[in-house]
Amino acid sequence: MTRVLSLIVEEPRLAISDMALWGTQADWIELRLDHAKPDWELETLFAASPKPVIATCLPKEEGGLFEGDSEWRGRMLEQVASFKQTHYVDCPILGRHQVHSGAHRIHSFHERPGKETNWTELEDKMNSSCLEGDLIKIVLWAETEKDARRIWEWYKKSEYPLIGFAQGQGGKHTRIEALAHGAPLIYACAPGQATAPGQFEIGELANLPLEGLSSSFTSLYGILGKPVAHSRSPLLWNSAFQVESKDKIYLTIETDDLRGFLKDCHFAWQGFSVTAPNKLQAMDAAAQHHESATRAGSANTLIRMPGGEWGAANTDGRAAMDVLKESGLPPADSSKAILLVGAGGAARAFAAEAQAQGYSLCICARREEASSSLAAEFGASTSPWGDSPTEEFSAIVQATPMGSDSIPGDPLIGQTLCPGIPILDMVYSPTATPLLVRAMEEGAVPVFGSEMLLRQMIEQYILVTESELMPMALRHFLGPLLTKELPGLPPIVLVGPRASGKSTLGRALAERLGMPFLDGDFCLEARHQKEISDWIPENEAEFRMAEANLLPELLGFRDCVIALGGGVTENESSCDLLAQAERVYFLSASTDSLLKRQVREPRPALTDQSLEEEVRLLLEKREQGYLKASSGRQLNTEGDFATVLEALAVLVAGADTNRC
């Protein structure tokens, strides 16, 4: 198996630079000479290649970019075929000019969208024109995954080694699957320099165990759904494979015809994650069904069984229950039911798992007949949409698309959320859904959809690969990777002393940026139903511990502004956690300014010292912590409010620009 770096040569000097930068990650280099000119020093260009070269120059009518004289093109290809570095020259099977001397040939055909092809002529010519050592290359155009399946028939027709794959939106996975069919080469591009639709970048191939595909040593896995281009699953699965040194590769396959794909897929495929709209098809396609899939009536996991048939499982419900339990869900013998919002496939999977674990449910859906039907199936009660008293429940699970980027809103708007109960929102884009922001403000425990996403992936991974890694180990390794890939940016966090302007500036900045605002102190009071002014004098150690425990939850939100209490950095672990965050800002002011503001707006005393002495002592005690937590990102808040707000907005924008 050979990795080929494909470069379109627009200027020889640029191509030489790209070969030096990226050529070390490839085994061969393809130089596409579609822009070649008579004055180019081709021998110098080829001599600069650190790897063997495939030379090609495709005319526009054959899918390339060359528009010059065809006779000159023919002579140029004959010339480069004689160079020492040239191992192959790529010549169109149906083209007018063939190279007859020097290097071996790749006899190629590239299907063009909207152009009819004489398939009989192509089949006749592809074998008859080959000599020993030559290769055949067939590239089909695939708008859909179904279009891409056509390529596998050509492996049966070719009498010579075939590089056969599909390009276009529906064919990216075929570039790697082709290796399992026996393709000797795989093409990739330099970063941001695709030479054909659907190419992998050369760096993406560097850590994949591609060599084992031709010998059935490497297995393929993937996600089947439509759309799946946004999926973070390949990052998580392939990272886990690398940690375990497993010869496995995970890809995305965008399809709504799961049964058709499974019928034609190579035996190298050993397992799939399944997402919409394929979860019911997965049940129909499977010969065996895990009890989790049978209960849910749908599958999100397919596993290749020893006889070649498929087994189906569903990890969604188990993942949701796991994250709820970690967030404080009481045992199943609790007198309170779980409120399940929604009656679709995700809700059904959760209801099945909750029932299996002995929990009672109350189902609330916009369509009364849908909630009644689901409730009847799982022995649950129902509650009217928009009128579910949350204090009656032990937890809330939001299993509708409401709150997502495409369907904004809060399905429980107008209903008070009970402090202390876990609320899981299965939506994970955005992370800070309106429901979860309100949950934090009202003292409930927000449970992010991204955490459930990670858990169900880990359940799938262990089930499909029979991994011996503990789920917790996978979670600690994969969690930070997923966080970096989530939509939006980490929260803007404001630290600093009392009266430095964290809350007032934070609210104004959030409004300006169109983001939610969270006040850490208010969230603490709502969660524990205690006033901080009473809590600190009674038991400051307990307060500081509660503050430290809440901080990771707050930092889990994205695209929001958070103001933290003045003493948060006194906890060393909290200070270290903030120092690792990317958007923490220290709002500072002089002792005199802080004193004047607190005289104007009195606050409960934190010490038995005079106000002036307390302000001085606390600032002296905490300032280094603020600097450490903010990594030195500091703004003095003295001056006109509008001017300071503008300065803060500029500081944040500048830091974000540098971050990118």
| Catalytic annotation, residues | 279
Write down the residue that tokens 């001017």 correspond to.
643
Q: How far apart are CA 355 and CA 280, in angstroms?
A: 21
Phi, psi of 601 (to 5 degrees): -125, 85
CB-based contact 546:528 (threshold 8 Å): yes
CB-based contact 340:351 (threshold 8 Å): yes
Write down the residue that tokens 């503001």 correspond to.
597
Give 24's Cβ-side CA count (13 Å radius): 3
Q: How far apart are CA 636 and CA 160, in angstroms?
A: 72
Write down the residue that tokens 């309106």 correspond to.
434
What 3-state class would DSSP assign to 57? coil
Q: How many residues are there in the chain? A: 660
Q: What is the DSSP letter of 330?
A: P
CB-based contact 46:33 (threshold 8 Å): no
Q: How far apart are CA 360 and CA 338, in angstroms?
A: 6
The sign of the torsion formed by the CA atoms of 318, 319, 321, 322 equals positive
Give 581's Cβ-side CA count (13 Å radius): 29
Closest CA to 380 of 407, 346, 403, 352: 352
HEC assignment per residue over 550-591: HHHHHHCCCCCEEECCCCHHHCHHHHHHHHHCCCEEEEECCH
Structure tokens at 524: 């603490």
CB-based contact 91:105 (threshold 8 Å): yes
CB under 8 Å to 102, separation ≥6 — which residues? Answer: 78, 81, 82, 83, 86, 89
Structure tokens at 537: 């004098």
Write down the residue that tokens 């560097």 correspond to.
206
Dmax over CA atoms of the chain, in Å, equals 98
CB-based contact 251:471 (threshold 8 Å): no
CB-based contact 246:275 (threshold 8 Å): no
Q: What is the DSSP letter of 659?
A: H
Structure tokens at 633: 């990102």
Strands of 634-636's sheet in order across: 517-519, 561-563, 492-495, 584-588, 634-636
